Amino acid sequence: MTQTENRPSVSDTPLVPIETIVSLCKRRGFVYPNSEIYGGVAGIYDFGPLGVELRNNIRRYWWWSMVQTNDNIVGIEGAIITNRKVWEASGHVENFVDRLVDCKNCKRRFRLDHLPAENVEQNKCPVCGGELTEPRTFNLLMETYLGVVEGERMQTYLRGEACQNIYLDYDNVLKSSRMQVPFGICQIGKAFRNEVTPGNFLFRQREFEQWDLQFFVHSSEMQQWFDYWKERRFEWYQGIINHKDRLRFRAHGSDELAHYAKQAFDIEYRTVLGWQEWEGIHWRQDWDLSRHSQYSGHDLSYTNPVTGEKFIPWIVETSGGVDRTFLFLLLDAYEEEPDPAGKEPRTVLRLHPMLAPVKVAVLPLQKNKEELLNTAKNIHKRLQRLMVSQYDDVANIGRRYRRQDEIGTPYCVTVDFQTLDDQTVTVRERDGMTQVRVAINELPAYLLERVTWK
C-alpha cells in the first residue's frame, strides 16, 4: 500500500481513550449498541452507515492480500451452524471454558485468568479487596436447536471459532480446486462466544467476526512456513497503522501453549489498556485434521501426487478479528490537532485512504450559486460510480472540511468560481491539508490512483 502524501509524524501522539472512540462511533454512525431501545445486550453491536463501509474495506483488503494475490491460497465461506459433532471433535464441548470468580462484597465478576497472581493467591478482589467466591466453570459455546418438533430437535452450537469450516471443507477444496500441499484456505466469518466478561467496546464481544488462514504443509516444512506467515502477517498490520511502535509480537509461554503446539505468537497492539491481542499465529500441527478424521470416520490424509507419500498435513493458522482491526484502526487513526488560529482543535481520523469509509467529498464553495451546485452534483455523480463519495453543501467550507476530517475522508473536492472558468477543482488532502488544482476530467484517475489497493 502506498501512504498518503504529506503525512505528518504521528509517533508522539497520545493514546486515545476507548470512550472517545465509542462516542465518535455513535455520533458519526460507525457503531451503535445493539437493541439499544430495549436496553441493549452486553457485548453485541451494530454497525452504522460509515461502520459498514469501513468493515467492508477492512475485509476486502484482507481478502485481496491473502486470497487474491496468492496463487496457493483459496477462499471459502462456511455456514455458522454445523453438525454438533464438529464441536466434540474440536474439543470445544469439553474444553472451551472460562473460570470465573465473583466478589462477595462488591459483586463484580472476574475471569480467573485475568486476575493478577497476587489476587488469586490471596483470594482478594482487585477493586475493593473483598473476598472472592470459589472459581466456577462456564462453557463459552452458544447453544442452538434445529428442527421444529419439541423433543426431536437437534441441539448444536453457533460456531465458537470460524476456522472449523476450513477443516470440514478441506477435502472438498482439495478435490475441486486442484490445490496441492503446501496450500492455504481462507475464510472471514462470524463467531459466537458466551464471553463471561465482554467489554472494552468491540474488543471482547459475544458476536464477532474472525479471519483465518489455515495453511496446510508437510511436517518437514512446518517451521519454515510458520516463520513465513508470522512475518507476513506482522508486515500486513504494520502497513495499515500509523503508530508502528505500538505493534509487537508476544510469544506464548509454555503454560499457554496447546499440547500439540511447539510455539504460538500473538501480534499485539498497544492501547490505553496496555498491550492487547490482535491476531494469533498458531502451530496446530496435525491436531485438527486428525481429530476430524477420527470423529467422522472420513480419512482426511493427503497423498503427494509425485512421491505417493500419504500423510495428515500440519497446519499454520493465522487468526485475527475484523472487529479488533476496526477498533485498533480507529484508536490508531484518531487525533485532535491544535488549531494554529487558536480555534477549536481539529479532530482527524488518519485512516489509510484505502480503508477510509468515504473516499471523497464534493463541496460547492457557496450554496447561493446554482451553477456551482450543479457542477458539484455532476462531479459527485460521476465519482460515486467509482468510489464512496459524499456531496455536502451545508454550512461554510471550513466546517464541511472538519466534518470530513472527523470521519477520515482523505480528499475533499471544492468547486469554486474558477471551476466555472477553467473546469478545474481544488483537491484538499486530509492529513497535510495541502491543496492542488486538478482538471475535472482528470479527477477520477487522480483519486483512484490514491484510494485503491495496489
List residues near ligand GAP by CB under 6 A.
Answer: 161, 163, 193, 195, 204-205, 208, 210, 277-280, 317, 319-321, 323-324
What whole-number distance in Å separates Cα of residue 213 and Cα of residue 218? Answer: 16
Q: Is 132 or 222 the residue whose CB approaches ligand GAP more closely?
A: 222
Report yes or no: 425 and 379 within 8 Å, Cβ to Cβ.
Answer: yes
Q: Shortest CA distance to 108 belongs to which of 86, 94, 128?
A: 128
Compute the least distance from the CB of residue 319 to ligand GAP, in Å: 4
User: Which residue has the CB atom at the shortest distance from ligand GAP?
Assistant: 321
Query: Which residue blocks in 241-335 are alpha helix, DSSP H?
Result: 287-296, 322-333
Compute the least distance from the CB of residue 366 to ligand GAP, in Å: 46
Q: Shortest CA distance to 365 belongs to which of 312, 337, 334, 401?
A: 401
- Residue 67 is placed in which grid cell? 486470497
What whole-number distance in Å separates Cα of residue 2 and Cα of residue 20? Answer: 28
Q: Is 159 or 450 the residue whose CB approaches ligand GAP more closely?
A: 159
- Residue 141 is placed in which grid cell? 459455546
Compute the least distance from the CB of residue 207 to ligand GAP, in Å: 8
Q: Is 282 or 403 the residue whose CB approaches ligand GAP more closely?
A: 282
Compute the least distance from the CB of residue 37 to ligand GAP, in Å: 24
Compute the least distance from the CB of residue 257 to ligand GAP, in Å: 13
Compute the least distance from the CB of residue 234 to ligand GAP, in Å: 14
Tell me, what amino acid is at 404? Q
Please, how many CA atoms are within 13 Å of residue 24, restricted to the half-sphere of its CB? 24
The CA-CA-CA angle for residues 225, 208, 82, to 5°, reads 80
Q: Is the four-CA dihedral 216, 221, 223, 224 of positive or negative sign?
A: negative
Q: Is 288 or 335 the residue whose CB approaches ligand GAP more closely?
A: 288
Q: Shortest CA distance to 433 belongs to which of 405, 452, 406?
A: 405
Compute the least distance from the CB of residue 44 to ligand GAP, in Å: 10
Q: Is 319 or 409 the residue whose CB approaches ligand GAP more closely?
A: 319
Q: Is 258 or 440 the residue whose CB approaches ligand GAP more closely?
A: 258
Compute the least distance from the CB of residue 331 to ligand GAP, in Å: 14
- Residue 135 is placed in which grid cell? 472459581
Tell me, what amino acid is at 268? E
Q: Is 319 or 419 the residue whose CB approaches ligand GAP more closely?
A: 319
Q: Is 204 or 428 the residue whose CB approaches ligand GAP more closely?
A: 204
- Residue 149 is placed in which grid cell? 418438533
The CA-CA-CA angle for residues 276, 282, 283, to 5°, reads 155
